[in-house]
Structure 1
């Protein structure tokens, strides 16, 4: 009996570790996607799933047919120019996508140990696996639609949903190990405030994709030689996005103030500190892009920080939600029931 219990504990610990690692891999994938976008490498591989018809991309133009532009440029109106750096940036992004799929599948297999104890963990892992499969297909549509903005935005939003699914099973599987003194009635207002912040942050992310689309148009018109003039030629979406960051900051300060007033709950103090840190750095990267000619390195970092922020908000919301942290089969704290 003791041996069986020990085995189950090890399986569950393995699952929690794998779920956390999978979240990290997904974040790296989002960072890679931001680098692809920021460097204009989206069509570095003009076909899918292969790259210039090869499973291992070429490193120099001599490895391509002399008429490669005619072969791969038919759909792109002949606008295919081989660039080894951009090709490999896009290809590494694809490799990370495949790796993340394997990790999510591994998380699903590891979640089988929860089928008897808490099926919600299994179904959350299954949802993450199905969603990342759909997002992989959306990645192929990004290439097929020649970087259509709406497909890129859907691709990003679905990646956020995958992160949410993984964060949910990570928090849920850690429920028995969370130190929770009590969850008072006032957390209901905190939960609503957190939901509002998530909606505002998501809106800011979507606004950011509109700014990115406008920037792409400016770059295409002015070229990289006039980088210092990019910001001055952006439309109103940039100014709305910039001003709205102050609203997001104000709501984050309100959330952090409310979270700090709650009784001790594992992870919440760390999340509160991380949130304000990431918000400040996020605004800082925005300022750097606005006043320092949009350096390429700042763009993917700006996006990644936003996704990390909304992930932290979601985890905080889960932690103050008793429905989440009271899992079937776990010992329930009577102070949490009925809240």
Structure 2
């Protein structure tokens, strides 16, 4: 059988070599374009590239969930102990023959492994950025703390990815994996802004942005809980739900966190009313989150500096897109393109708010401030 332990050197080495080979493509592109730039400019470009790939990883992770490919390869980090589905064809074929509509098929195996490859490439880029930041720390206007924190968190995120598979899509773990990816995005935005050093003119305090970012993260957590429990279609119709303005709901079972997929906390099957409660919580909190975003947009538009108004325009476009894609998930029975756009829009909202928050700071850090003082 190809179901081998990944401790064997051959599959592990093949997987490592494959990821290194793929990672060389973006790293080579970055180095060739930035080889004549300063250390800070090179780090800003590398974090921007990593941020772009992390956003892609979040969207592809949503695609993996939406296509039920999370268990396309039921072990970790390889596929039936192999570096790719090519070496596990016999096991995949046997699993597909035993259960044609089950979680393991040739297509789902490739989707799951491509997601893992991209995650490993992102992790490697974060490692390179952390090492480079530490080596040139004397030439940076700040400490490499954000780069090191990002490296530490991507390791934690890798463990979430492992247990997502080994615990068979345990809803709480899958939701934490999604939130971990969003937090990784926040850390990368903050890291990039620390290298770019583009402070906004004084005006808006950080408090309102932090509050709205917390609302958006709460809504993403609820959206992840909806997705991981397959509760998107628990409500048909809008603005009502299954023909009722306040349908029968079972929040106690729906928000029991320590339970297996499709199971209630006591071990029985999760009642349909629990799925309705999960869906309705996401709908109702969306009103709160959108209200907070609209308030922040109006607050930004009152600032005289043009960058604030640009942030207001970005948030307005993203909120409109989120409302449109969220409604289409329900009204059009969850088309995959709209669902992916909804996940990507949520990540983009977090990125824009994190960028705004990071730029609300003095132009220079303490090291640069001391260096600028006259002797």
Q: Assess same fold via TM > 0.5.
A: yes
**Match 1:241 to one of 269, 278, 282:** 282
Helix, strand or coil at the partner of 2:366: coil
Distance 1:331 1:58, change over 3 A: same
Shift of 1:305: 1.1
- For structure 2, the 5+ residue unaligned runs are 1-34, 243-271
**1:168 alignment counterpart:** 190
Distance 1:81 1:170 in 2: 38
- For structure 1, the 5+ residue unaligned runs are 1-6, 220-226, 335-339
**2:51 alignment counterpart:** 23
Contact persistence 2:63–2:340 (CA under 8 A):
yes
Distance 1:125 1:56 in 2: 30
Question: What does 1:281-296 align with in structure 2 at a 5 Å threshold?
Answer: 281-296=321-336
**1:320 alignment counterpart:** 360
Helix, strand or coil at the partner of 2:138: coil
CA deviations 1:256-293 (Å, max 9, x no partner) are 1222223437x544332211111110111101101001
**1:125 alignment counterpart:** 147
Question: What does 1:238-277 align with in structure 2 at a 5 Å threshold?
Answer: 238-264=279-305, 267-277=307-317
Distance 1:44 1:18, change over 3 A: same
Question: What does 1:64-75 align with in structure 2 at a 5 Å threshold?
Answer: 64-65=90-91, 68-69=94-95
Q: Does 1:280 align with 2:295?
A: no
Question: What does 1:1-339 align with in structure 2 at a 5 Å threshold?
Answer: 10-58=38-86, 63-65=89-91, 68-69=94-95, 82-112=104-134, 114-118=136-140, 120-175=142-197, 178=198, 180=200, 182-184=201-203, 187-188=204-205, 191-215=206-230, 232=242, 234-264=275-305, 267-322=307-362, 325-330=363-368
Distance 1:245 1:168 in 2: 26
Helix, strand or coil at the partner of 1:150: helix
- Runs of 4+, deviation exceeding 6 Å: none
The alignment covers a number of residue pairs equal to: 301
Distance 1:97 1:167 in 2: 17
Distance 1:80 1:53, change over 3 A: farther
Distance 1:169 1:214, change over 3 A: closer
TM-score by structure 1 length?
0.79
CA RMSD across the alignment: 3.2
Shift of 1:69: 4.2
TM-score by structure 2 length?
0.72
Which of structures 1 and 2 has the larger relative contact order (alpha carbons within 8 angstroms, sep 6+)?
1
Contact persistence 1:194–1:317 (CA under 8 A):
yes
CA deviations 1:199-234 (Å, max 9, x no partner) are 111111111122223426979xxxxxxx99xx8464
Shift of 1:154: 1.3
Distance 1:179 1:143 in 2: 41
Distance 1:258 1:249, change over 3 A: same
Contact persistence 1:12–1:113 (CA under 8 A):
no
Distance 2:232 2:328 in 1: 20
